[in-house]
Amino acid sequence: MKSLTEEIVKRRVLTEVEKYPFFQKAVIALSGGKDSGSLLHVFMEVYPDKEVIPVHLNLGIGGFSEASERFARMQAEKAGLQLVVFNLEKELGFSIMDAKKLYPKVCSVCGGFKRYLLNRISFELDADIILTAHHLEDFLVRMLKSVLNAGFEELARFKTYLPRKGNLVAKGRPFCRVSENLIAEYAFLKGIPFLSEKCPIGRKENVERFRRTVEILARRQSQKLLYFSSLTKLAEKLHSCGAIPMPELKPCSSCGFLASSETCSFCARVRKIKAFLDREKAASF
């Protein structure tokens, strides 16, 4: 017998995914945590006929990344799927720990790398869409921060679904109306193995503060959903009024993926990090 949690989670995922144009092959970004592990499980239950490829990025953050990969493998195995792993250190010659030496506030670099690599891998795998497990509170925090910081450009760009554009694969967030608590209940209910340890190097105090604010502003889920829908409407209005120019995209001069600058931020940062590590190596001789 289905539990209420299972029914709600499945219904919300179905309602969201049904808004996307037809797709057949989906990449699901699997971090090893409860959110993406649950997304893989729900999605396969709701859409047993779609082709799913779980992809894990090993960022090289010591024991945390090793454990993350181990749990992502368990989750993929439970779903009967082969996990695709991209190991940053093996493929690029440096890890996020190395990048941190040059960029102490490494989360924005790490986040940008994850977005870029997921797109590149999914494009090479010929996937129709990339699904990520961002949940209701993730979106509320992001939108609230944009409003309070007058980050209207960011808010205007906010979307829960992004259609394909050239070599940028479509992106969907099926958990955008599912709260973190429900996802945790679902993960326990279904016996999904997951890593509960948090990344040891991320500086997320700011995000945590906003998260606490969201909990104070909206204790009940219905209230969170109401705020989410108001902020989404505001984002749509900002986007459609034309007052905020959207960046023009052109192929990166180095990798060819669409970007808003001559060289995309991934290629530029990879170059800088490698040069920094070379200098560091030369200085140690």
Is residue 176 a contact partner of residue 139, using CB atoms and an 8 Å limit?
yes
> Is 201 one of the binding residues for ligand SF4 (CB under 6 A)?
yes
- Output 106 or 117, the one with its CB closest to ligand SF4: 106
Question: What residues make contact with Zn ion under the rule CB under 5 A?
Answer: 252, 254-255, 264, 267
> Is 30 one of the binding residues for ligand SF4 (CB under 6 A)?
no
> Is 189 one of the binding residues for ligand SF4 (CB under 6 A)?
no
Instruction: Pick one of 62, 93, 111, 247: the residue that binds ligand SF4 (CB under 6 A).
Output: 111
Residue 255 contacts which entry, ligand SF4, Zn ion, none (Cβ below 5-8 A, type-dependent): Zn ion
H-type alpha helices, the chain: 4-17, 34-46, 62-78, 88-92, 96-102, 106-124, 136-148, 152-156, 180-189, 205-217, 221-240, 265-284
d(CA 4, CA 17): 20
**Shortest distance (Å) from residue 254 CB to Zn ion:** 5
In which residue are the tokens 């049904």 written?
A: 18
CB under 6 A: which stretch of 107-115, 157-165, 235-243, 260-268 binds ligand SF4? 107-115
**Shortest distance (Å) from residue 261 CB to Zn ion:** 9
- In sequence order, which residues have a C-beta less than 8 Å from that of residue 56 and are 6 or more positions away? 29, 30, 31, 32, 68, 69, 72, 73, 76, 83, 84, 85, 86
List the one residue out of 67, 55, 6 whose CA is nearest residue 28. Answer: 55
- Output 96 or 136, the one with its CB closest to ligand SF4: 96
**Shortest distance (Å) from residue 121 CB to ligand SF4:** 17
- Output 111 or 166, the one with its CB closest to ligand SF4: 111
**How many CB atoms lie under 10 A from the CB of residue 277?**
16
- Per-residue contact track with ligand SF4, 33 to 72, x per CB under 6 A? --------------------------x-------------
For 159, the 3-state DSSP assignment is coil
Residue 264 contacts which entry, Zn ion, ligand SF4, none (Cβ below 5-8 A, type-dependent): Zn ion
- Output 168 or 201, the one with its CB closest to ligand SF4: 201
> Is 92 one of the binding residues for ligand SF4 (CB under 6 A)?
no
Residue 155 contacts which entry, Zn ion, ligand SF4, none (Cβ below 5-8 A, type-dependent): none
- In sequence order, which residues have a C-beta less than 8 Å from that of residue 8 and are 6 or more positions away? 178, 182
> Is 107 one of the binding residues for ligand SF4 (CB under 6 A)?
yes
Could you give the angle at which helices 62-78 and 34-46 cross, rounded to 10 degrees?
20
Which residue's CB atom is positioned nearest to ligand SF4?
202
> Is 85 one of the binding residues for ligand SF4 (CB under 6 A)?
no
Residue 267 contacts which entry, Zn ion, ligand SF4, none (Cβ below 5-8 A, type-dependent): Zn ion
> Is 110 one of the binding residues for ligand SF4 (CB under 6 A)?
yes
DSSP annotation of 2 reads -
For 141, the 3-state DSSP assignment is helix
- In sequence order, which residues have a C-beta less than 8 Å from that of residue 80 and are 6 or more positions away? none
**Contact residues: ligand SF4, CB under 6 A:** 59, 96, 106-107, 110-111, 199, 201-202
